[in-house]
């Protein structure tokens, strides 16, 4: 560990500043290990290291994976802060975030705890993406005297420590101690105000329709809640203001209830998928024709090459074609409401994944609590809720399916939660869906399950025998192998992936090869050289705007030259719907507009579209986000050109990509936290594109007028040639 010891006084002046009644702290004392005495005041921590609290310890030379560490901040808190506050209800200790669990003490007393530690009776559960804003009784603060804030942290896997700060200390504002929440019902939306401090006051509601500009009076109440009208098709921004009757202080929150833009699909058949599908000669074809429309539906195909089959009732293309070539096929789908024809190319050759993969992955919902039953339940919902009719077809089991030990012959085995992996694959294949699996080139995965190190060939052969169609290969435990050698060249990063590629491509089936190593050594520059079908470009995504903004907008901006049919940049899985990374699921924390932005950007980026939520609990809004055929057509466009940012105008960014039919897909994003009036015509002129302008979410042609755009919202357009 890098020790940075500084004289105490200097450390304190560097570490914090007091402004506008807020203390901002950027550094703290740090010690690896665990000792209950470290929570108390009066401990000599002058020999501890000094760490930046805005970044995890891992990035500051501290090697402490799966371990405890303590932070301590010694400081005088001036009573002027309390005097200047008219509420005097609580003192706020805002740490930012902690990777993964913490216990926070003020002067030796526990004042906050999020996540659990291995020594807790219930065992370890990390909560690295929960904000740590603790409300503390002002009586616990030693005003004008020395205080100590001590934070015990447990890191359940790299990275670890306090991050996302700086740490902020202040007297609580009305907003800190009131919670204004809303919940959509069928026809009304319930707005509630609550506080642990039993406040009395008035709640007022005012709305603005962002499509028409009309203002709406939502009424007011002295009660704890009020119902306002809710129409699923209208985008209304509401401002709820709570006025505390005692102090006259106000706290407000603006929100936009979920609104559905995607028009309902017609009852007649409609084709919603890519216009081509790639398969290697002799590999089994698994392609469920993505037609929406009322069932029963019958299917036929003209021009099927020898060896290819079509089940006329289920619409599943199967069989094997041994002769390479581009086969133009006319697909026909018919039901009680009509008959539709669609031309389609089956490309038999060496290239697979001609368009980005669409499907589901267990990680963002179930984390390490995944089971075969849970996988099957999401797969069944992909079929029942119609998502398979839009091309969602990969069902990917992430980490935590492996047994504790390999079989006697060294082959990999499943744990009790996966009683029959082959049965799962067979069942998925019978529905036209595909199975994905997860492993690591290291001895262990990120969740500490068995990895494939020294068993690469054996493992991929087992996957082939089970019928696996997708492998996510996650670096993780390989870091230990990597550390053993001084070779840190690009070749050293490539090596484990090249090794698996050789065995993987030798299998007699098409296995999508997904690299997960967080973008190290500019993986986008060599991913195609190991025949990877996609590569993660960043660390893990989480369901916050900060994460979406950083991964989606900042880190993908320069990557467009590296993406192409067969080889895609992967900015990580979708964060819409019910998520949780554990057995405890909750709604995504993204606003509806952030979700529109997420799906629009992933469409423009030609990103993997892997649903991260429990599909069995998916609501109509989330289905409407994922099943807009015109939006998805941008993602699945055969040109495969990833969008790039073309205009940056303050908080407005315009991203665009050319499409195979000569049109241009354009996303105009409002990255600010306020509503902006976006002048569509101006941007189109700057881009030099003209033609019919189509609003892809609303699926209608529009004029290039001004448009009110929600905070973190988007206007997604296609300009047709």
With contacts defined by CB under 6 A, name the span among 21-29, 30-38, 441-449, 693-701 that binds ligand GAL: 441-449
Helical spans, DSSP H, in 70-167: 80-83
- The one-character DSSP state at 554 is I
Q: Is the dihedral of CA 310, 316, 319, 323 positive or negative?
A: positive
User: By C-beta, is 11 or 375 nearer to ligand GAL?
Assistant: 375
- The residue count for binding ligand GAL (CB under 6 A) is 11
Find the shortest distance in angstroms from Cβ 539 to ligand GAL. 7
Q: Would you say 372 and 417 are in contact if contact means Cβ atoms under 8 Å apart? A: yes
Find the shortest distance in angstroms from Cβ 356 to ligand GAL. 17
User: By C-beta, is 438 or 560 nearer to ligand GAL?
Assistant: 438
Cα–Cα dist 401/419, whole Å: 10
User: By C-beta, is 474 or 531 nearer to ligand GAL?
Assistant: 474
Token couple for 508: 């007699």
Binder of ligand GAL out of 389, 398, 459, 630 (CB under 6 A): 398
With contacts defined by CB under 6 A, name the span among 120-128, 175-183, 439-447, 678-686 that binds ligand GAL: 439-447
User: By C-beta, is 104 or 445 nearer to ligand GAL?
Assistant: 445
Find the shortest distance in angstroms from Cβ 476 to ligand GAL. 5
Find the shortest distance in angstroms from Cβ 534 to ligand GAL. 12
User: By C-beta, is 235 or 440 nearer to ligand GAL?
Assistant: 440
Which sequence positions are flagged as catalytic?
Answer: 474, 540
Q: Which of residues 485-544 bind ligand GAL (CB under 6 A)?
A: 516, 540
141 Cβ contact list (under 8 Å, min separation 6): 77, 82, 91, 106, 147
DSSP-derived secondary structure for 420-444: -HHHHHHHHHHTT-EEEEEE-SSSB
User: By C-beta, is 45 or 399 nearer to ligand GAL?
Assistant: 399
**Should residue 623 be labelled a site residue for ligand GAL when binding is judged by CB under 6 A?**
no
Token couple for 602: 């992933």
Cα–Cα dist 62/74, whole Å: 21
Q: Would you say 669 and 597 are in contact if contact means Cβ atoms under 8 Å apart? A: yes
With contacts defined by CB under 6 A, name the span among 197-205, 224-232, 440-448, 586-594 that binds ligand GAL: 440-448
**Should residue 85 be labelled a site residue for ligand GAL when binding is judged by CB under 6 A?**
no
Find the shortest distance in angstroms from Cβ 2 to ligand GAL. 25
Which residue bears the tokens 């024809």? Answer: 341
Over the window 399 to 438, marking each residue x when it contacts ligand GAL by CB under 6 A and - when it does not, the resulting string is: x--------------------------------------x
Strand 67-76 to 146-155 pairing: antiparallel
Q: Provide the β-strand partners of residue 342.
A: 331
Find the shortest distance in angstroms from Cβ 358 to ligand GAL. 17
Residue whose CB is nearest to ligand GAL in the complex, by number: 446
First-to-last C-alpha distance (Å) of the chain: 60
The angle formed by the CA atoms of residues 7, 11 and 17, to the nearest 5 degrees, is: 150
Q: Which of residues 327-366 bind ligand GAL (CB under 6 A)?
A: 363
Q: Would you say 472 and 451 are in contact if contact means Cβ atoms under 8 Å apart? A: no
**Should residue 476 be labelled a site residue for ligand GAL when binding is judged by CB under 6 A?**
yes
User: By C-beta, is 256 or 476 nearer to ligand GAL?
Assistant: 476
Token couple for 507: 């299998």
Binder of ligand GAL out of 94, 103, 244, 474 (CB under 6 A): 474
DSSP-derived secondary structure for 243-295: EETTT--EEEEEE------SPPPPSS-EE-S-SEEEE-TTSPP-EE--EESSS
Q: Which of residues 443-462 bind ligand GAL (CB under 6 A)?
A: 445-447
User: By C-beta, is 19 or 584 nearer to ligand GAL?
Assistant: 584
In this structure, the number of other CB atoms found within 10 A of the CB of residue 247 comes to 14
Find the shortest distance in angstroms from Cβ 27 to ligand GAL. 29
Find the shortest distance in angstroms from Cβ 571 to ligand GAL. 12
User: By C-beta, is 446 or 643 nearer to ligand GAL?
Assistant: 446
Q: Which of residues 14-43 bind ligand GAL (CB under 6 A)?
A: none
Over the window 363 to 382, marking each residue x when it contacts ligand GAL by CB under 6 A and - when it does not, the resulting string is: x-------------------
Q: Which of residues 538-597 bind ligand GAL (CB under 6 A)?
A: 540
Long-range pairs for 486-495 at CB < 8 Å and ≥24 separation?
490/521, 490/522, 490/526, 493/517, 493/520, 493/521, 493/523, 493/526, 494/521, 494/526, 494/529, 494/530
Find the shortest distance in angstroms from Cβ 518 to ligand GAL. 7
User: By C-beta, is 615 or 689 nearer to ligand GAL?
Assistant: 615
Cα–Cα dist 13/19, whole Å: 13
Q: Give the chain's count of helices (H) and strands (E).
A: 15, 46
**Should residue 56 be labelled a site residue for ligand GAL when binding is judged by CB under 6 A?**
no
With contacts defined by CB under 6 A, name the span among 249-257, 327-335, 442-450, 638-646 that binds ligand GAL: 442-450
Find the shortest distance in angstroms from Cβ 398 to ligand GAL. 5
89 Cβ contact list (under 8 Å, min separation 6): 138, 172, 177, 197
**Contacts with ligand GAL, residue ranges (CB under 6 A):** 363, 398-399, 438, 445-447, 474, 476, 516, 540
């Amino acid at each position: 560990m890098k020790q940075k010891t500084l004289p105490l006084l200097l450390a304190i002046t560097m570490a914090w500043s007091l402004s506008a009644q807020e203390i901002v702290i950027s550094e703290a004392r740090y010690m690896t290990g665990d000792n209950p005495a470290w929570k108390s005041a009066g401990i000599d921590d002058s020999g501890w290291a000094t760490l930046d609290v805005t970044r995890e310890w891992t990035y500051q030379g501290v090697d402490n994976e799966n371990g405890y560490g303590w932070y301590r901040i010694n400081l005088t808190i001036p009573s002027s802060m309390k005097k200047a506050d008219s509420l005097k209800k609580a003192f706020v200790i805002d740490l930012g975030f902690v990777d993964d669990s913490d216990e926070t003490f003020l002067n030796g007393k526990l004042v906050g705890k999020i996540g659990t530690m291995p020594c807790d009776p219930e065992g370890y559960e990390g909560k690295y993406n929960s904000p740590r804003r603790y409300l503390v009784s002002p009586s616990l603060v030693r005003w004008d005297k020395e205080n100590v804030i001590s934070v015990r942290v447990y890191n359940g896997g790299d990275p670890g420590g306090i991050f996302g700060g700086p740490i902020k200390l202040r007297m609580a504002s009305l907003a800190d101690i009131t919670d204004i929440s809303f919940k959509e019902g069928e026809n009304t939306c319930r707005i509630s105000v609550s506080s642990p401090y039993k406040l009395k006051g008035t709640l007022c509601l005012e709305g603005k329709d962002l499509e028409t500009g009309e203002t709406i009076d939502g009424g007011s109440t002295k009660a704890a809640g009020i119902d306002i009208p809710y129409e699923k098709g209208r985008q209304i921004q509401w401002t709820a203001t709570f006025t505390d009757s005692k102090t006259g202080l106000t706290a407000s929150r603006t929100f936009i209830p979920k609104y559905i833009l995607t028009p309902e699909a017609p009852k007649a058949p409609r084709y919603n998928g890519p216009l081509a599908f790639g398969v290697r000669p002799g590999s089994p074809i698994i392609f469920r024709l993505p037609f929406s429309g009322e069932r029963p539906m019958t299917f036929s195909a003209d021009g099927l090459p020898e060896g290819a089959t079509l089940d006329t009732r289920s619409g599943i293309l199967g069989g094997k074609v041994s002769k390479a070539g581009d086969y133009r096929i006319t697909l026909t789908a018919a039901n009680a409401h009509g008959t539709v024809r669609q031309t389609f190319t089956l490309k038999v050759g060496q290239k697979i994944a001609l368009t980005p993969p669409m499907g589901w992955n267990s990680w963002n919902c179930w984390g390490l609590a995944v089971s075969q039953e849970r996988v099957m339940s999401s797969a069944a919902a992909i079929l029942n809720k119609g998502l398979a009719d839009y091309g969602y077809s990969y069902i990917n089991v992430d980490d935590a399916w492996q047994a504790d030990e390999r079989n006697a012959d060294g082959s990999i085995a499943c744990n009790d939660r996966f009683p029959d992996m082959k049965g799962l694959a067979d069942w998925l294949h019978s529905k036209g869906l595909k199975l994905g699996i997860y492993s690591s080139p290291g001895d262990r995965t990120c969740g500490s399950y068995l990895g494939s190190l020294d068993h690469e060939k054996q493992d991929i052969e087992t996957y082939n025998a089970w019928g696996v169609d997708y492998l996510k290969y996650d670096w993780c435990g390989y870091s230990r192998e990597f550390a053993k050698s001084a070779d840190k060249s690009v070749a050293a990063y490539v090596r484990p992936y090249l090794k698996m590629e050789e065995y993987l491509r030798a299998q007699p089936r098409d296995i999508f090869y997904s690299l997960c190593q967080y973008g190290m050594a500019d993986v986008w520059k060599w991913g195609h050289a190991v025949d990877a079908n996609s590569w993660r470009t960043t660390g893990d995504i989480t369901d916050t705007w900060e994460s979406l903004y950083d991964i989606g907008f900042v880190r993908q901006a320069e990557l467009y030259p590296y993406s192409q049919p067969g080889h895609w940049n992967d900015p990580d899985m979708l964060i819409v719907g019910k998520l949780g990374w554990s057995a405890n699921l909750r709604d995504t924390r993204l606003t509806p507009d952030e979700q529109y932005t997420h799906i629009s950007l992933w469409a423009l980026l030609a990103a993997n579209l892997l649903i991260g939520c429990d599909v069995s609990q998916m609501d109509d809004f989330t289905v409407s986000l994922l099943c807009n055929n015109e939006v998805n057509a941008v993602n699945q466009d055969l040109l495969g050109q990833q969008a790039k940012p073309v205009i940056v105008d303050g908080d407005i960014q315009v991203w665009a990509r050319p499409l195979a039919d000569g049109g241009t897909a354009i996303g105009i994003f409002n990255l600010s936290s306020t509503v902006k009036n976006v002048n569509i015509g101006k941007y189109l002129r700057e881009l030099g594109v003209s033609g019919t302008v189509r609003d892809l979410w609303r699926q209608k042609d529009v004029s290039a007028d001004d448009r009110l755009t929600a905070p973190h919202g988007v206007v997604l357009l296609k300009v047709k040639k």
